[in-house]
Structure 1
Amino acid sequence: MSQPASINVHRSQRGDAHTAAGALDTDRMPLLKLENISKIFGGVKALRAVKFDIMPGEVLCLAGENGCGKSTIIKIISGVYQPEPGAVMLMDGESIEGLDPARARDLGIQVIWQDLALFPEMTVAENIAFEQNLGSRPRIVRYGKMKEAARRILERLGVSIDLNRSVRSLSIAQRQVVAIARALVRDARLVFMDEPTASLSHAETEALLKIVRRLSADGIAVVFVSHRLAEVLDVCTRVTVFRDGQYVGTFPTEGMTQTRLTELMTGRTFDYEVRTTDLTKAPVVLEVQGLSRARQYHDVSFKVRRGEILGVTGRLGAGRTEVALSLFGMTRPGAGSIQLDGKEISLRTNRDAIQAGIAYVSEDRLQLGLVQPQSIGDNTVAAVLDNLLDGTHLIASKKRNALIQDWIQQLAVKIGKPDDAVSTLSGGNQQRIVLAKWLATNPKLLILDSPTVGVDVGARAGIFAIIHKLAAEGMAILLISDEIPEVYFNSDRILHMREGRIVKEYVPGTTTMEQIERDVHA
């Protein structure tokens, strides 16, 4: 069986960034210009002489692997950290050295972190207009004025949310909108968005990108940080790449490919090969016939064989995740049948699916895949607690610890201690823990829904190496992704879904990736 990629390591060429950036309108003054930005933490150089600029109203991507310095530069720009002596920071051509968070906000610099930093018990209006009521002296809160300010901002964004609802009751996508609206109340001119789509569904992501484009049209510069390279190339006009705390370059996204951007971010060339395993005689593990669910998917039929990786791709809202949820017992189809190892099964709940031998890795790792405050160990064994009970119906600690250690070693998860909170891990290692949790159930069928969301490009190869190993050992795998290179180089067959139906099937190697991309985006 072919491996997901063979890697030849080389250092990407430097010095071509100026040529790429030179294609922009050089007559305009940058909104923000940085030169010679360095930061040292305890002798470790987190940033080394970084430089780049941001133009008014542009959507710029800040790209790089985890630990490359993206968060550090954002904290310097927002006044949380101070750079080393010799740094040059200009906004509208004037020096802004010595920033603190309050002055940065006064200048119109806003950061929307991944955790959003909202007040869950307060209303939408209170969260949006929160900073209007801050000050050194107590003052009477004018709720009418607060609601009016919040209403105007939401109208400007083209969205509608009940101003009296508590933020706790909102979806993640709605909370993102509230965080953006709060930034605009302070007359934001430059907004940083840290992984804004990491926990959003495809439809929610599309809605958020519309808001980003609206901000850009209003003259607000947006710096977009995301590991979803397809989104980056779609919404951004330029991409600034960091690697190991250094500036690699700033490049126009026009003509940029995901492969080239990956090379710039990692400094490595990934020579991908398609899978060429003949599985036509392998036994069928999953067979779906005529599966339908009103307003979600229609007449879906396919097979997944032992040791096969079946890819499913398509545009946002194609119905891929909806099918996966029915296969995992989370929703019930209105028509059709599901067979596992030749026997028809009825899945009323996800417990039925787990007992039947089906595991599901959700695209929403933060909300559905892991319990963030709990330990790495507790998350690893969460799906198999019944198997760890001793004669007194208590969890056998030796059995539990052995299972945790076994999966950490098998999946090469980089951790401190098993008792550390799972939130302390990088995105790639968190995803390995999600895999460990479900692999511990010993499934016959593993459903992977966008398994590399929020995972940097360097860690993706490692995750797919695990997936290929599982397939080589005989596991049937359903791989769902909207990143066509991901399914092309990691699937034996690919199904194209559109508007809830399977419209075409491809075999990588006999069909080009470019042809699939044309079909999907037609």
Structure 2
Amino acid sequence: MSERADPAPLAAAPADPDAGVPFVRLRGVTMRFGGATALHALDWDVRPGEVHCLMGENGSGKSTTIKVLSGINQPDAGAVIEIDGQRIARLTPALSKSLGIQVIYQDLALFPNLSVAENIAFDQAVGAGLAAWGRRIRPAAQRETARRALQRLGVDLPLDTAVGTLPIASRQLVAIARGIAAQARLLFMDEPTASLTRSEVDALLDVVRRLKADGIAVVFVSHKLDEVIEIAERVTVLRDGHKLGTWPAHELDDRKLGTLMTGLEIAQQVRARDLSPRPPLLQVRGLHRAGEFAAIDLDIRPGEVVGLVGLLGAGRTELALSLFGMAPPDAGTVTLDGRTLDLRSPQAAIDAGIAYVSEDRLSIGLNMRQSVQDNLVLAVLPRLSGLLGWLPPARRAALAADWRERLRIKIPALDAPVQTLSGGNAQRVVLAKWLATEPRLLILDAPTVGVDVGNKQGIYEIVHTLAERGVAVLMISDEVPEVYFNCDRVLHMRGGRLCGSFVPGRDDEARIQEAVYA
């Protein structure tokens, strides 16, 4: 439930007079794009060796701030930018990097076909190539550069392995090491934990602490409030391009941060309902897939929201892929609405009334370069197309417009590429795409990864509305609070098996946390 917050301003903590000279200081930075103002007279600083968090919803000005400091965007006249005590008249990307500012974007901007060593030493290779055109960079030198950078982070990665074959957590370490090799003094990390499991997040936070001890400032741009409070010393909150203030992290909690970011009082309350009298819609018995999961027995009733939690490697996503026909099980049965299914392909699952929203919307859930309209109608084309497999443009546009309205997707036009949308709106497009298939069972795998607080609440409301209409929902999440406050039951998976069942309200949140992280 969301209510408009008390409009009284919240006072930011005064600056520490003994903090020393900031490494970065912005004063009066305004940034306009056409008639829109993305930043309003921003005053902000980052201290050497500080872990600082920059928070705000999509459109609050976080990305614009990063682009100003990385020299991509030039602010309006009158702005003051100081780096390491030096006033910069005009900051360019090359100058920004030479002064020690590095940005690790959410997509990491790595070369998947190049090795770990080549990616880490890339900036040095480019610099050397410009200084001595045609001179080949020695592999031994690249490897030594990469080895030293990884050593500073306290991690070990195979230097000759192609980056594209590594898991996302390892690729992120490569991106950080590349910044270290380029002599970074300030690292911006844009949504660094969006695609990581809790154990991978803990490992990343250890690396950040190591950077801090090495005197390198780190600015987190994140939507995950618990991680922010755990790692940051100060937190700056932006809303609609305005800085609301900067606070010591220990003075904030999830509720206060959520209120600051959204302007809404977001109250978390248990929603669990006892739906046991209803006959199951989904029945899974003895489901098994070698090396991934075994002996899975699972019931979900119409209108029930069941959460599934567990650590990396527990088998949660693998189970979801089997239920959606992408990785058929070796044994066991799946029954939906009394009918035993043969889930040998995603199309068979769709035809049976199952929809799956993947945790990896960038490569599985959406075609980022195609339009919103094309993505929205993709899953229903076989059903709506005529005999020749052609869907009239007017019908296609009407369907897409209908779902844009239903899910309140904020887009400039239906033909806008999905890659231009915010994380929250992209996730709504994924949901609309699958809801258009009119599923009986909706599987959500990490549905709010990379989504800000306000959009998270919107997605939860969509889930609850679907449940009220009788849709069964299986919600997979790395965040225990997410399932605790949004599910009727919570199942715990470990080592490919279901090993615990909890009811929010009857079982407290701490008990589930202890079971998962034991």
Aligned equivalent of 1:157, options 126, 129, 153: 153
CA distance in 1, matches of 2:205, 2:427: 25
Q: Structure 1 stretch 289-298 or stretch 45-54: which is displaced more?
A: 289-298
Q: 1:457 aligns with which of 453, 456, 462?
A: 453
Instruction: Give 3-state SS (helix, strand or coil) of 2:474's partner.
Output: strand
Task: For residue 184 of structure 1, report the CA deviation from its aligned partner.
Answer: 1.6
What is the TM-score normalised by the length of structure 1? 0.88
> 2:315 — aligned with what?
319
**1:81 matched to which residue of 2?**
73
Task: Give the structure 1 partner of residue 231 of structure 2.
Answer: 235
**Match of residue 107 from structure 1:** 99
**Residue 410 (structure 1) shift:** 2.1
| Selected match of 1:445 from 441, 446, 467 | 441
Residue equivalent to 1:130: 122
What is the identity, as a one-letter code, of the residue corresponding to 1:74? I
Q: Where does residue 143 of structure 1 map in the other structure?
A: 138
Check conservation: 1:191, 1:220, Cα contact below 8 A. Answer: yes
The alpha carbon displacement at 1:138 in A equals 1.7
Moved more, 383-392 or 342-351: 342-351
Output aligned runs, 1:17-416, within 5 Å. Answer: 17-18=13-14, 22=16, 26-132=18-124, 133-134=126-127, 135=130, 138-144=133-139, 145-168=141-164, 170-200=166-196, 205-254=201-250, 256-275=252-271, 277-293=273-289, 296-333=292-329, 336-416=332-412
The answer to whether the 8 Å contact 1:199/1:365 transfers is no
Q: Say which is worse superposed, 208-217 or 141-150, in terms of deviation.
A: 208-217
Cα contact 1:289–1:336 (8 A) shared by 2? yes
Alignment partner of 2:267: what SS?
A: strand
Deviant stretches of 4+, over 6 Å: none
3-state SS, counterpart of residue 272 of structure 1? coil
Q: Does 1:433 align with 2:429?
A: yes
Cα offset, 1:201, TM superposition: 5.5
**Matched letter for residue 138 of structure 1:** W
CA shift for structure 1 position 323: 2.5
- Quick one: structure 1 residues 451 and 277, their matched pair in 2 at CA, closer, same or farther if it must change by over 3 Å? same
C-alpha contact 1:61 1:232 (8 A) present in aligned 2: yes
Residue 231 of structure 1 aligns with an amino acid whose one-letter code is: E
* Residues 12, 267 of structure 1: 8 Å contact kept: no
Aligned CA distance change for structure 1 residues 515 and 51 (closer, same or farther; 3 Å): farther
Once residues 163 and 516 of structure 2 are traced to their aligned partners in structure 1, the CA distance between those partners, rounded to angstroms, is 36
Q: What percent of counterpart residues are identical? A: 52
Determine if the alignment matches structure 1 residue 487 to structure 2 residue 474.
no
Amino acid at match of 1:105: K
**2: CA distance between counterparts of 1:318 and 1:28?**
47
Contact in 2 for aligned 1:198/1:364 (Cα 8 Å): no
Q: CA deviation at 1:247?
A: 1.6
Sort the Cα spacing of 1:214 and 1:335 in 2 relative to 1 into closer, same or farther, 3 A.
farther
More deviation in 159-168 or 192-201?
159-168
Contact 2:101 2:185 in 1 (8 A): yes
Q: Distance in 2 between matches of 1:121 and 1:299?
A: 39
Q: Give the deviation of 1:207 after TM superposition.
A: 4.6
- The 1:16–1:398 alpha-carbon spacing in structure 2 relative to 1, beyond 3 Å, is closer
Please identify, of 175-184 and 434-443, the stretch whose mean Cα deviation from structure 2 is larger. 175-184
Cα distance, 1:181 vs structure 2 = 2.4
Q: Which segment drifts farther, 213-222 or 459-468?
A: 213-222
Aligned equivalents of 1:250, 1:349: Cα separation in 2? 51
How far has the Cα of 1:372 moved from its partner? 0.4
TM-aligned CA deviation for residue 168 of structure 1: 5.0
* Counterparts of 1:167 and 1:148, CA distance in 2: 17
User: Aligned partners of 2:296, 2:252: CA distance in 1, in Å?
Assistant: 35
1:127 is matched by which residue type in structure 2? N
CA contact (8 A) 1:313 1:495 kept: yes
Seen in structure 2, the aligned counterparts of structure 1 residues 317 and 395 have a Cα distance that, compared at 3 Å, is: same
CA distance in 2, matches of 1:265, 1:177: 29
| Structure 1: tracts of 5 or more residues without a match | none
Q: How far does the alpha carbon of each residue in 1:292-322 deviate from its partner, in whole angstroms, 9 at most, with x for none?
A: 5455445443321001111223444443323
Contact kept? 1:448, 1:479, Cα under 8 Å: yes
Amino acid corresponding to residue 118 of structure 1 in structure 2: L
Question: What's the offset of the Cα at 1:171?
Answer: 4.8
- 2:381 is matched by which residue type in structure 1? L
Secondary structure in structure 2 of the residue aligned to 1:384: helix
Structure 1 position 365, deviation (Å): 1.3
TM-score of the superposed pair, with normalisation by structure 2? 0.89
2:58 aligned partner, one-letter code:
N
Aligned residues: 514
Question: Could you tell me which amino acid in structure 2 is paired with residue 272 of structure 1?
Answer: Q
Amino acid at match of 2:55: A
